[in-house]
Amino acid sequence: MSIPPAASPHEHIIHLSWAYLYSAALNAVAELGVADRLEGGPKSAATLAEELGVQAQPLYRALRLLATVGVFIEDEGERFALTPAADVLRTNVPGSMRDGVLMVSHETFWRPAGKLATTVRTGETQFAHIFGAPFFEHFARDPSIGPIFHRGMASFSDSENAAIAGSYDFSRFQRVVDVGGGHGGFLIEVLNAAPSARGVLFDAAHVLRDARIAAAGLAERCELVTGDFFKEVPGGDCIILKRILHDWADQAAIDVLRVCRRALTEGGRVIVVDTVIPPGNEPHAGKLLDVLMMVSMPGRERTEEEFRRMLAAADLRLERVIETPAMLSLIEASAA
C-alpha cells in the first residue's frame, strides 16, 4: 500500500493517524451495498440514500472521502459513479472484495488494534479480553459472526488463489491435503491445475458447511474432512498450509507442522503459503499483515530464516521459497 506524499512531517503523521477513517468509510459502504446500487450508472447521494433507507448527508460525506482515494468518483452534478476500486465492492462480480472488506474492517480486527500499546507492553493479544474467547473460538461459537470471517477470508483469497496455484507444479502429486483450507478456493485451483490429483479439504465443521468443492464440480475428486490440525490431519504427498502458520505463535506453528510431518507420505512435500518478510524498510503487505496478526491472533509473519528454523524444529527441510504474483510466497519443504 502506498501512502500519499505529504507536504511536511506533520502532515505525514496526521495522515497516518487518521487513516482508520478510510477503513471506517469502506466498511460502511460495503455493509450498505452502495456499489451494487451504482451498477446502472451514477447516482446522487440523495437517490442512493432513498434506495438504501439511510441518511443522505452522512452518506454523501463518506462517499466524498472515499472519492479522494479513488473509490467512487463524484461528477459535477454531485452524482457518484463506480471506479475500478469501487467496482470490486460489488457483490456479484468475479473477485468481489466486498466480503473481504467487511472482514478486515470489522471490529474483531480494529478493536484489538486499538490496544496495540498493551500488546506491545505485555506481548499478548488483547482479543480474548475484548471478545471473551480467542479468535477462532469466537468465530466458531457465534453463528452470526462466523461467516463474516470465513466468507471474508474466502473473498480475500479469491484474488490470489489462481496466481499462487499457477506458481508451482502440483501435477506430480496424488493426494493434496489443504489443511485449514477454508471454503476450498485454493484447493479448487490446485486440483484444476493437477487433473490427476485427488484432494482433501480439511477444516472445522462449521467452515466446511460452506465449502465450494461440489459447486466447482470436484465432489468426485475431493473429500471434506473435519478436525483439529493440532491433533491430526489426513495423510497425503502434498500438505498445504495456506495462511495458517501466520495465525500462530512459534511453538503452536511448530506443533501444526509436526502433525503435518507425521501425515506426509514418502517423498512428499509440505507447502506453506504465507508472506515472507524481506529485509529493509521497503513497504511490503506482510509488514501490515504482521501487525494485524499480532493484535488479533497470537500470530506473526516471518522471514525466510524464521521459516527455516521453524520447519527444522518439526523435522522438515526448507527446499526453496518461490515468489508468486500475490503478496504470499510458497515455501516448499520436505522431510528432513
User: Nearest approach, Cβ of 307 to ligand SAM (angstroms)?
Assistant: 17
Residue 279: left (phi > 0), alpha (psi -120 to 50), or beta? beta
Phi, psi of 192 (to 5 degrees): -70, -30
Start-end of H helices in the chain:
9-17, 20-32, 34-37, 45-52, 56-67, 84-87, 98-104, 107-113, 116-122, 127-131, 135-141, 146-158, 161-165, 185-193, 205-208, 250-263, 285-296, 304-313
User: Nearest approach, Cβ of 145 to ligand SAM (angstroms)?
Assistant: 13
Residue nearest to ligand SAM (CB): 180
Which C-beta is closer to ligand SAM: that of 126 or that of 157?
Answer: 157
DSSP bridge pairs for 179 = 202
User: Nearest approach, Cβ of 306 to ligand SAM (angstroms)?
Assistant: 18
User: Nearest approach, Cβ of 203 to ligand SAM (angstroms)?
Assistant: 5
Contacts 24+ apart (CB under 8 A), 249-254: 249/298, 249/299, 249/300, 250/310, 252/298, 253/299, 253/310, 254/310, 254/313, 254/314
129 assigned to active site: no
Q: Pick one of 189, 247, 274, 301: the residue that binds ligand SAM (CB under 6 A).
A: 247
Q: Pick one of 108, 125, 155, 157: the residue that binds ligand SAM (CB under 6 A).
A: 157
Output DSSP code: residue 277: P
262 interacts with ligand SAM by CB under 6 A = no
Site for ligand SAM in 272-331 (CB under 6 A): none
230 interacts with ligand SAM by CB under 6 A = yes
User: Nearest approach, Cβ of 228 to ligand SAM (angstroms)?
Assistant: 4
100 interacts with ligand SAM by CB under 6 A = no
The CB-side HSE value for 129 (13 A sphere, CA atoms) comes to 13
Site string for ligand SAM, 168-197 (x = CB under 6 A): ------------xxx---x-----------
Q: Which of 106, 138, 183, 246 is catalytic?
A: 246
Residues of this chain that interact with ligand SAM (CB under 6 A) are 136, 153, 157, 180-182, 186, 203-204, 207, 228-230, 242-244, 247
Active site residues: 246
